[in-house]
Each structure stands twice: as C-alpha cells, then as structure tokens.
C-alpha cells in the first residue's frame, strides 16, 4: 500500500487533493461505512491490536450478520462472507488505508487512516429513535413552554424569563451530554463486544 493512503483525512472538497496529500472525501467515507460488512470489519479490528486472520474475521462478521453465535455459523454463511471480504471489501479498505490486508498471508489489521476517520455511528434499532428527531421534539417542547408563558397560562406563567432560559439551556445541555456519552460508548466502532447495528 502506498504512503499517500496512509496520510488520509476527511475533507469536504475532492478538489483539494494534490500530489502526495491524498485525502478521503466525505463521499468516500460514507461509501466505506454504508456497508455493514465493512463496519463490522472495522469494529472487530479495533478490538484486535495485532490483527487477525481473515478466516476468523469472516467467521465473526458472519455471526454478527446472521445474529447468531460464532459456533452456529454454517460453512456457506462463512464462505459467503470470506469471499466477499477477500475479493471486494478488504482490497478497497486497504486502498483507502483503513486496514492493512495481506492477501498472501491471509491476515488483516487496522490501518492508520482508521484512526483519522474517527468513526461514529448513530444506529436506530428496535425502540430507539434518531437523535435528530429527539432534538427536534425537545425544541418543540421548549417552544411550547415559552408560548405558554407568553400566553400567561396557569402553572408556567409563574416562571420568570430567567427561569425559562435556565430550563431551556438545562434540557439541551443534559440531552447533549447524554448524546455524547452514548456516541462514545454504545455507538463507536470497537467500543463494545458487538458492533452498532448487530443484536446477535
């Protein structure tokens, strides 16, 4: 893998690429993370400091993909993932610098560009809601409170302007801190045993 891919960072403008200062655009980053096998691969490699064998990686990705324990993975399930990783995903990820893939040795490790990307995932599953909708709902609630005060409705009308401001600021601060904590624990690749989006 050439050195230029080892100096990757995210930029919004593909036109900023020049010479050896190769960068990975937001579109390329989205392409990388849009496939669950690539996300699962990064998650597993973040947990393996010295890298792992391709066969072991394929087995774990297949287990997460099928939401079953590794020991229950069938030959066909493992083979499909193995072939896909070997022929499609790992070569592309190696080209981007996010993994170091040795096809001859059958080993793969996390690459230098993976740290620069700082991958965070917002996963919506089951009873969870997107944070964007949560913030929107919170804003609507705060607007409603301010409106009730302006209309001098009972209960909230006794609140002063300072108290309303403190209430609004506190609700957004508490929500932001909760979002930050969850993002850095439950939604960060490599942070937990299972990757974001896998429930098996």
Give the pair of three-digit tokens for residue 105: 């040795």
Residue-wise pLDDT tens digits, 57-90: 999 999 999 999 999 999 999 999 999 999 999 9
Residue 24 contacts residue 123 (beta carbons within 8 Å): no
> pTM, whole model, 2 decimals?
0.56
pLDDT for the residue 155: 67
> What is the percentage of the chain residues whose pLDDT exceeds 70?
65
Which has the closest alpha carbon to 85: 73, 64, 103? 103
DSSP one-letter string for 60-108? HHHHHHHTS-GGG--HHHHHHHHHHIIIIIHHHHHHHTSEEEETTTTEE
Residue 150's pLDDT band (cuts 50, 70, 90): confident
What does the pLDDT average to over 5-23? 41
pLDDT for the residue 30: 76
pLDDT for the residue 200: 41
pLDDT at 4 over 80: no
Provide CB contacts within 8 A for 42, sequence distance 6+. 93, 98, 99, 110, 114, 119, 189, 190
């Amino acid at each position: 893998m050439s050195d230029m891919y080892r100096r990757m960072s995210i930029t919004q403008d593909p036109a900023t690429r020049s010479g050896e200062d190769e960068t990975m655009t937001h579109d390329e980053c989205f392409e990388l993370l849009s496939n669950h096998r690539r996300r699962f691969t990064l998650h597993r490699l973040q947990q393996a400091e010295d890298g792992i064998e391709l066969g072991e990686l394929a087995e774990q990705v297949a287990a997460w993909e099928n939401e079953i324990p590794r020991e229950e993975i069938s030959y066909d399930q493992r083979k499909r993932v193995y072939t896909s990783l070997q022929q499609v995903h790992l070569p592309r990820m190696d080209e981007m610098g996010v993994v170091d893939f040795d096809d001859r040795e059958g080993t793969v490790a996390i690459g230098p560009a993976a740290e620069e990307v700082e991958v965070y995932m917002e996963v919506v599953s089951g009873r969870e809601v997107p944070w964007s909708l949560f913030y929107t709902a919170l804003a609507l609630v705060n607007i409603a409170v301010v409106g009730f005060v302006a209309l001098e409705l009972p209960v909230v009308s006794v609140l002063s302007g300072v108290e309303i401001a403190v209430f609004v600021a506190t609700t957004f601060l508490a929500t932001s801190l909760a979002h930050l904590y969850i993002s850095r624990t439950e939604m960060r690749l490599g942070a937990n045993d299972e990757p974001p989006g896998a429930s098996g």
